């Protein structure tokens, strides 16, 4: 018999002894209390006479009680573990949401800054181009005059890069025509008619061509210097 069975059996036996002692005491009219010596003696005699089948029942009941207690404890442990897992999952979700929010805020800030920079660049370009309105229209222009016009239109920090491209594309000839492609003017626009978006005099006015070229470099590459970097790698822009 296992230690668990012995404890269960002992508990049941003690109950049986107490109960039998009480009955015997009452039946005999004895004034002794249930816990007296007589009840104990009778109970001890009856304990030895408990049938083996009843002993097995006592053992079964003891094991059942122990299993029930263990099941209750297991349920409590499982509930605690589930609650802890739920807390951890909630914490991880909160961290992930915070990271997503910070990323979205950063991207929004970058877009706003880029928009501000673009607007500032456009404003600066427009201001520079506005200054060209005082450039007189002539029937013809020398290279020096065209370069002077470019200096009035193109921002100072971008002028050298702009000049590098014009030098290689047309040699500052505002009426240059590529015989194979038909590209035209200082910037070798293809087709040349694209420059009409700035002015109808795109064929004869280098100021119109320079304005168009600056707008093109800013919109496609970001600036004349970025366009020049591309040109050096590809010999075209």
* Domain closes at, from 51, 86, 121: 86
Distance CA 198, CA 221 (A): 19
Range of the domain at 35: 3-86
Whether residue 156 lies inside any domain: the answer is yes
Whether residue 115 lies inside any domain: the answer is no
Is residue 10 located within the same domain as residue 73?
yes
3-state secondary structure of 98: helix
Is residue 142 located within the same domain as residue 227?
yes
Is residue 146 located within the same domain as residue 81?
no
Which tokens in the block code for residue 119? 């607007």
Average pLDDT, the chain: 76
Which tokens in the block code for residue 39? 């009840």
Is residue 76 located within the same domain as residue 18?
yes
3-state secondary structure of 236: coil
What local confidence, expressed as pLDDT, does residue 120 receive?
46
Whether residue 112 lies inside any domain: the answer is no
Which residue's entry shows tokens 């408990």? 50
**Is residue 14 predicted with pLDDT exceeding 70?**
no
Which residue's entry shows tokens 């229209």? 137
**Is residue 30 predicted with pLDDT exceeding 70?**
no
Domain total for the chain?
2
* Domain closes at, from 86, 112, 145: 86
Is residue 153 located within the same domain as residue 215?
yes
Q: What is the mean pLDDT of residues 211-235?
A: 96
The β-bridge partners of 184 are 177, 189
Q: What is the mean pLDDT of residues 30-45?
A: 52
pTM (whole model) above 0.75: no
Nearest C-alpha neighbor of 187 from the set 170, 207, 204, 208: 170
Whether residue 98 lies inside any domain: the answer is no
Whether residue 203 lies inside any domain: the answer is yes
* Domain closes at, from 86, 115, 148: 86
pLDDT tens, position by position, 81-109: 888 888 888 778 777 887 787 887 777 77
Looking up residue 197, the CATH number of its domain turns out to be: 1.10.530.10
**Is residue 121 predicted with pLDDT exceeding 70?**
no
CA 145 to chain centre: 56
Pick from 35-39, 88-92, 192-196: least confident:
35-39
3-state secondary structure of 205: coil
Residues 6+ apart with CB under 8 A from 13: 47, 50, 58
């Amino acid at each position: 018999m296992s230690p668990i069975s012995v404890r269960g059996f002992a508990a049941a036996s003690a109950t049986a002894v107490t109960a039998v002692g009480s009955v015997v005491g009452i039946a005999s009219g004895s004034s002794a209390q249930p816990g007296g010596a007589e009840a104990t003696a009778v109970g001890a005699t009856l304990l030895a006479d408990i049938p083996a089948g009843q002993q097995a029942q006592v053992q079964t009941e003891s094991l059942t009680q122990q299993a029930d207690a263990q099941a209750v404890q297991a349920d409590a442990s499982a509930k605690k573990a589930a609650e802890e897992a739920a807390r951890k999952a909630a914490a991880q979700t909160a961290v992930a949401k915070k990271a997503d929010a910070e990323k979205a805020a950063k991207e929004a800030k970058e877009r706003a800054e880029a928009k501000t920079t673009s607007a500032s660049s456009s404003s600066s370009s427009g201001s520079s181009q506005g200054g060209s309105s005082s450039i007189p229209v002539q029937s013809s222009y020398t290279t020096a005059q065209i370069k002077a016009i470019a200096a009035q239109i193109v921002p100072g920090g971008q002028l050298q890069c702009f000049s590098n491209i014009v030098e290689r594309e047309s040699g500052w000839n505002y009426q240059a025509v590529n015989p194979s492609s038909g590209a035209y003017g200082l910037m070798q626009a293809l087709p040349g008619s694209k420059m009409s978006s700035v002015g109808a005099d795109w064929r004869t006015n280098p100021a119109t061509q320079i304005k168009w070229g600056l707008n093109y470099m800013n919109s496609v590459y970001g600036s004349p210097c970025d366009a020049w970097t591309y040109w050096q790698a590809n010999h075209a822009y």
